Structure 1
Amino acid sequence: KRLEEAKATPAAEPANTDDEHSTRALFSDEWPKAEKALVQTQKVQRQMLDAVRHNNMIDLTLVHEVSAGLADSIARNQDVLLCLNRIAEQSDSLLQHSISCAVYMAAFARHLNMPTHKVQSLITAALLHDIGKALNPDYLQAEDYMAIPASLNALQKTANLAGEISLWISQHCAHLDGSGSPKISAGQIEKGSRMLAIVNNYEKLTSPQHSKLGPLAASRLLLERTPHKLDVELLQLFIKCIGIYPPGSVVKLTSGKLALVLENSAKKPLLPKVKVFYHSVHQHHLPARILDLSRQQEEQIDSCVDLKKYGLDVRNYI
């Protein structure tokens, strides 16, 4: 029921009400720009992690620049960066998690029509929220809240970072019912902290490298954590923003064909534009073709799938 609310209720309607195609860049045009923004973010994030490990200063100017680059790409066509990020393969799990959270945050904050400076600050918070985990490998296996003091201390020492970004990071493991860490009331938890909690939890549940959950199952699980842990209205808006089947997801159609989700429709979230490439029943490749599920009646999405189950690599089908 709550997932239906995320698709249909007024509370879950996108705050950004521009026509979804009126000013949006073409997928193919935005691809190289989004790829450049993502590669630059990966480069800077590696530098930040290395700086923290060696107790060197972080260049926040570079962090703000890549945050702006992600925000700009999302503004032109968010589906491209979401797709690129989902299919990215990184051996460094901390690097990948931070960047994925930043990409989701960029889309989320823009969806809420937040001011440009606020969008960039939220992206920066997403990039930095787990920075303290670079200091000790044990943090990677521990509960998130255990690394928060290390993250805040590292940011204070290496970047002299304070203000709202530090506050959001400090609160992102707090729960609305007063549990979590720190144990504060719902009224004390900042909106940015609530948003960071959502993208952090969603990324951990859907990371292709570390989770068996598909986007649909993850959304349902997170909705079960409302309203006691997560903000239900913000979570519904987040799901509406990135889609029931986010770009970069692989789905099985009712015919048994496999397809890569490319672009979502705000008006028809269950019927995205996909790229068909393989038949799961007959186990053979198909001539790649783009199919807009909202413009036909023969095919619908049956389920999300893990392409590795078929011995296939999604990056070969872009």
Structure 2
Amino acid sequence: MAYQEVSITDLQPGSYVVQVLKQTGEVIVKHAGWVRTSDAIAMLRNKGVQILLIDPDKKLPTAPIDTPLTTFDTPEDPTTKVAFSNEWPKAERALLQTQKVQRQLLDAVRHDSNIDLTLVHEVSAGLADSISRNQDVLLCLNRIAEQSDNLLQHSISCAVYMAAFARYLNKPTHKIQSLITAALLHDIGKAINTTNLTAEDYVAIPASLNALQKTNDLAGEISLWISQHCAHLDGSGSPKISAPQIAKGSRMLAIVNSYEKLTSPLTSKLGPLAASRLLLERTPHKLDAELLQLFIKCIGIYPPGSVVKLVSGKLALVLENNAKKPLLPKVKVFYHSVHQHHLPPKILDLSRQQEELIESCVDLKKYGLDVRNYI
């Protein structure tokens, strides 16, 4: 069942809150978890919470009367990593739903219709949940996704990268979801005018902000991040502001936007390693050096979904990062580039052996092969 938007007056004990959509006041509350008691709901109301997004499929049968008056309980242990194969179908559903909603969003903008941000919040929460369980799966799925609509794929890829990046920085749940939403919305102005598709990114920012002004459910910080994501730390970007004025969320969005553009199969020939090196050259004048280093550590030198050539000549699909040994991820070997024949699929943890190392990233299309056949 889809998430439901409810007012604080309609919120019931035992509900599972996905996100706070609207609130007043200066107190920031957590945006995910169970609301167990009427007293907890009263506390939310006192803190200015007005509208929430709940998951009607999650409902506690009873609410203990001795529950402490915290805002929400933490729903999951973030340190528990779900197995790759178990997360795959869940991540696939989350990605397909995001693609569906993003198409609707871009169509609405093209026809000057109102944007349904409830659906955007829903898919943002879904991506955040998948990343929290096992980020490698969603990163892998997104990278091997069939490419057709560049604007659609760019925004979704940015959202996936942002989800992983924000969680890696230990952002609170509500902030992660807001950053994902910003990534999904940052280029919607390009859908209004096709000439914007080939123009510099900053050209479409006014159109994006104008489209977003038609809804009352968008947090101001999301608009701020979008408005600043083409700014440079040295003041040379657009708008003409410098480091002290550029929000951290804007800096993060600038990094994921730049990385996706450099590594997209539709717009670039660069591999992940070459793209990372190029982005490092843009620090500290244009991009935040510290944040960029953290982003590269987060997604890996060879991100999940990349195809690599090993020193033996074997080709392999990267499945999982290795945070401690980023040059030695877990891969699936499937083809020999020298002998030009398929190999029995084999999962290989490069950090647990000494025979194989990664030589380079490769474009599998050069071998006449489709990466989706080797999942």
TM-score above 0.5, yes or no: yes
Contact 1:58-1:159 within 8 A present in 2 as well: no
Q: 1:98-153: CA deviations, max 9, x gaps?
A: 00000000000000000100000000000000000001111110000000001001
Unaligned runs of 5+ in 2: 1-77
Structure 2 counterpart SS, 1:302: strand
Name 1:59's counterpart in structure 2. 116
Structure 2 counterpart SS, 1:157: coil
Residue 193 in 1 paired to residue 255 in 2? no
Structure with greater Cα Rg:
2
Instruction: Note the aligned Cα RMSD (angstroms).
Output: 1.1
Question: Residue 104 of structure 2 is aligned with which of 38, 43, 47?
Answer: 47
Distance 1:291 1:182 in 2: 47
Distance 2:215 2:107 in 1: 11
Alignment of 1:6-45 (within 5 A): 23-45=80-102
Runs of 4+ in 1 over 4 A off after TM superposition: none
> How far apart are residue 86 of structure 1 and its match?
0.2
Q: 1:64-87: CA deviations, max 9, x gaps?
A: 110000000000000000000000
Distance 1:69 1:160 in 2: 19
Residue identity matched to 1:284: H
Structure 1 counterpart SS, 2:301: coil
Which protein is richer in helix relative to its size?
1
Distance 1:270 1:70 in 2: 26
Contact 1:57-1:159 within 8 A present in 2 as well: no
Distance 2:293 2:372 in 1: 30
> How far apart are residue 235 of structure 1 and its match?
0.2
Residues 131-140 or 190-199, more deviating: 131-140
How many residue pairs get aligned? The number is 298
Residue identity matched to 2:100: K
> How far apart are residue 185 of structure 1 and its match?
1.6
Report which structure shows greater RCO (CA 8 Å, sep ≥6). Answer: 1
Residue identity matched to 1:191: K
Contact 1:256-1:281 within 8 A present in 2 as well: yes
> How far apart are residue 26 of structure 1 and its match?
0.2
Contact 1:171-1:182 within 8 A present in 2 as well: yes
Alignment of 1:115-194 (within 5 A): 115-157=172-214, 161=218, 163-194=220-251
Name 1:7's counterpart in structure 2. none
Residue 311 in 1 paired to residue 353 in 2? no
Question: Residue 163 of structure 2 is aligned with which of 81, 85, 106?
Answer: 106
Identity of aligned residues (%): 88
Distance 2:317 2:267 in 1: 20
Contact 2:117-2:217 within 8 A present in 1 as well: no
Name 2:275's counterpart in structure 1. 218
Distance 1:273 1:121 in 2: 31
Name 2:286's counterpart in structure 1. 229
Contact 2:283-2:289 within 8 A present in 1 as well: yes
Q: Which TM-score applies when normalising by structure 2?
A: 0.78
Contact 1:55-1:158 within 8 A present in 2 as well: no
